[in-house]
Amino acid sequence: MRNAALTLGIIAGIVGMIVGFASYGYSMAIETHGEVEGLFHQFSNPQAIRIMSLLAPLLAIAGGAMARARALWGGGLMLASAAGMLYAFGFNAFTMFPIAFAGVGGLLGVAAGKPDEPKAHF
């Protein structure tokens, strides 16, 4: 379970980085060039989008990387990443995979008691 959590966390972080780049770039382009009536509008909270564009993929990758040694901590980070992506970006066609992968990886990390290593967190 720890290996699955590691893999899902890293994949969620990489796909989340793509979503983060697009969201951060969009918010900066609208701020720089202005809105286009009926076509491009600024987010209601662009600062939260920008923070989560960096933080959520970072948490997913860090949680995935920690999943083998400290499964509980890694699982918690991945669950926080999934919650942050859901809050900032919402659930849509572009975010469903990073949110789902981070969420499932987080659950696997939290549930990984003893199977892969003798060091259990509960």
Is 36 contained in some domain? yes
Number of domains in the chain: 1
- What is the C-alpha separation between 43 and 59, in angstroms, rounded? 23
Terminal-to-terminal C-alpha distance of the chain = 15
Is 71 contained in some domain? yes
- What is the C-alpha separation between 2 and 22, in angstroms, rounded? 30
What's the pLDDT tens digit per position in 36-66?
888 888 888 999 999 999 999 999 999 999 9
- What is the C-alpha separation between 118 and 43, in angstroms, rounded? 47
Q: Which residue reads 């969620």 in tokens?
A: 12
What domain range includes position 67? Answer: 2-111
- pTM for the whole structure: 0.87
